[in-house]
Structure 1
């Protein structure tokens, strides 16, 4: 209870981990609605407390799945990371809200960045997923509209993340291209994996390239210990602006698996502090 914000009102919460997977988004949303595990779709089995809203998810693809389920029951959803412009359609997503800019805004910023540095010939790398494809197509259109040129839009398959031969074949286009600037529009975990791969396989062949990463590494992410950026000329990262949240720092200092028991916090402490 916070007397300064909601006097005489106590708020509770449940935490569910989608694991950044579409299937996980479906399961955890239904669990949140039914209130029990195993879940019972279309039934609310909570003995006490009532969910009034859902917060999440980080990615647009999983947020879209969650939204399609929640709007059936008229539950508000607040996302802190879904930037897909598809959510601008309030007739289709009347209960969806977000606290972050849209893909259209960041694409406009990238187009202005290219003009500022005089980069007129660029390439775009993305993944074969609806949200990222929409974003990359909008980015290409904005770059062209600003008077610059796009050499290629390379779409990599998420399902072939561990197929080295597939990567070598696809990345050959980047090595041979005269475009010195590569705009990378990937999910976080894909960026970590691909960057390490590029550093190991292509090495100095792309040392003259410049990478522009579109919010691929959130501020709270813990990079893989083996993560290595390719030996490139420069790497620019576009991130949302930060703001101070009053009382958050003090709250986090007080939070422990004993005071707030849940498996996500317990796993986090085990990973960071090597707790048994």
Structure 2
């Protein structure tokens, strides 16, 4: 799933290519991807793109006040063309959910692999009309996201810290992969209770959150959309690296599996050497 750094890179990528260009058509390859009913996609024809921005994991294309907003979800991605295929999309005949054609001849597809379709697009006059954006918590890279603000987010939260980091209503933009990375850098167990962290741990986690995301944004910056997934995987310290040596201490990276996801961590760095039990068979070890 694309997270804040990759989504920001996509925003920068699109900004360079479509701002001040006009949209000639927005075509749907999947009618279920569009979560709004009015205005219709045809309303974009002839409108000039005035800006591209990010709200958490949402991309927002502003066209003279009409917004095309999309969330790539777990298996979605953006495919750029310098010359868009001329053939019109045939609904439900390919992984392409949305195609955007630009006056310059370029454009992009929003694609989604697999059978579980969760990629979502919205056509709105105001991004705040998108339910997921309306519920977003603060952006962790914003200038006003201070240590005090972060401490307030955590205060009184009995949830496990990995869940808090991934909750978009608390902190916008972090998902499964970067929460693993942040917690490894902060040397904290994924299952520590947010409200139980002391001042030093909160400060450590805050710095790890900001620096991990900043570094990932720098790494992703300037890369073509087609290279962002590989760049993300290559930059991971523990996420997706089960069985490999921890880059900090050399211990073996371990995994906890869930029904439809998993997390990775280093027991030496994060849990005092204690392996975390698989939730499917036993309780977590703290």
Q: Return the structure number with greater strand share.
A: 2
TM-score under structure 1 length normalisation:
0.28
User: Highest relative contact order (Cα 8 Å, sep 6+), 1 or 2?
Assistant: 2
TM-score by length of 2: 0.28
